[in-house]
Amino acid sequence: MNLTKNKKKQIEGIDLDKTYPVLEAVKLLKEKKYVKFNESVEISINTGIDSKQSDQNVRGSFVPPHGLGKKVEIAVFAQGKNADDAKSLDVKRVGGEDLATMLQNKIDVDVIIATPDMMPVVSKIAKTLGPKGLMPNPKSGTVTNDIKSTIDNINKGLVAYKSDKAGTIHAALGKLSFEENQISENINSFIEEIKKIKPSGLKGNFINSVFISSTMGFGLKVEI
């Protein structure tokens, strides 16, 4: 693998084959930062699920104890009181058919919420939203009648996650500017959350390995 000068300097002295305690790994990511922008801290959990078995795929949502450190732009498909509730919370986009048309042409939000009665409208642009991971889903908490609580959780740092075709779960869990303990607590809390949702049909190990990295950094294997 060809490495840039900065990347070579960044990994100098780092044992990439070692399994680190989470806090030690976080310290290394912070120490070795070399870019100017505030990188995200990302986690990859490699599982033993068979993604071809629908009952083994995992999906859900999680609110890290220390949030994500970023403002999230939200769009809400709702009408009546639910739409009024969303507007009262300064949501960027609220609507129905008009919102679907807008998002079909340009997606400028991070999360999309919908009330159950609006899903027929949302389904019309499923081919646009699905590949971007923005399709509302009850399992991730984004199809709901409790608009206010859902928006509140998202603003606190709601993380929607799901396993991919390789059975890996990816998530961003904060910013590198966070305190070391804050990042570690976000990571450990997420791992514990995932442990709780082992599919009942899965035989053998659920979590095989966990890696953390920063946006421009290297990946480190951490203790489960």
Domain containing residue 169: CATH number: 3.30.190.20
Residue 119: which domain range?
Answer: 74-156
Band of the pLDDT at 6, cuts 50, 70, 90? low
Model-level pTM? 0.76
Residues 134 and 164 in one domain: no
CB 58 within 8 A of CB 160: no
Residues 140 and 200 in one domain: no
Quote the percentage of the chain above a pLDDT of 90.
64
pLDDT digits 0-9 by tens, 102-151:
999 999 998 999 999 999 999 999 999 988 889 999 988 899 999 999 99
C-alpha to C-alpha distance for 193 and 61, rounded to whole angstroms = 9
What's the confidence (pLDDT) of residue 46? 96
CA-to-CA dists, residue 101 to 79, 96, 104, 136, angstroms: 16, 9, 5, 16
pLDDT digits 0-9 by tens, 167-220:
999 999 999 999 999 999 999 999 999 999 999 888 889 999 999 999 988 899
Residues 194 and 215 in one domain: yes
Last residue of a domain, one of 125, 156, 187: 156
Number of domains in the chain: 2
pLDDT digits 0-9 by tens, 17-35:
899 999 999 999 998 888 8
- Is residue 4 assigned to a domain? no
- Taking 80 as the threshold, does the pLDDT of residue 12 lie above it? no
Last residue of a domain, one of 102, 123, 156: 156
What's the confidence (pLDDT) of residue 92? 80
What's the confidence (pLDDT) of residue 1? 52
- Own/partner pairs for 123-130, CB < 8 Å, 24+ apart? 124/100, 125/100, 128/103, 128/104, 129/103
